[in-house]
Amino acid sequence: MNLVNAEKVKLTGNKLNDKVYYHHSGYIGNIKSETAKDRMQRQPDKLFRAAVWGMLPKNRLGRAMIKKLKIYKGAQHPHAAQKPQTLDIA
């Protein structure tokens, strides 16, 4: 599955400012936080990968499924030969 133009997707409500993503470096007291707005500007592909991973089963099947997901920031992608069809969500 391909997701193109990830940087153009909009979140509803106050999710850009209220939704916070955390990750830990492994050192004591070194938890990092980032809002959805910051992550959208910096790495929109990681935002959607985390969203899809949250919906998948956390086992070897889910890991195999997430490997098939290809996310691209812009419209340029190397899958032109597969002729992906546009999905209009309005």
User: What pLDDT digit, counting tens, does each position of 19-28 carry?
Assistant: 999 999 999 9
Number of domains in the chain: 1
pLDDT score of 87: 83
- Token pair in block for residue 75: 């419209």
Q: Is 69 inside any structural domain?
A: yes
In 3D, which of 46, 45, 43, 69 has the Cα closest to residue 56?
A: 69
Alpha-carbon gap, residue 73 to 18, rounded angstroms: 23
User: What pLDDT digit, counting tens, does each position of 66-83 carry?
Assistant: 999 988 888 887 776 667
In 3D, which of 90, 89, 83, 88 has the Cα closest to residue 2?
A: 83
User: What pLDDT digit, counting tens, does each position of 49-65 carry?
Assistant: 999 999 999 999 999 99
Give me the CATH number covering residue 44: 3.90.1180.10
pLDDT score of 33: 95
Q: Is 48 inside any structural domain?
A: yes
**Pairing of the two strands 31-35 and 70-71:** unpaired
**Pairing of the two strands 20-24 and 31-35:** antiparallel
Q: What is the mean pLDDT of the chain?
A: 88
Q: Is the pLDDT of residue 1 over 80?
A: no
Q: Is 14 inside any structural domain?
A: yes
Q: Is 27 inside any structural domain?
A: yes
How large is the angle between the packed helices 60-67 and 44-55, nearest 10 degrees?
150
Q: Is the pLDDT of residue 40 over 80?
A: yes
pLDDT score of 80: 65
Longest dimension (CA), the chain: 48
Q: Is 87 inside any structural domain?
A: no
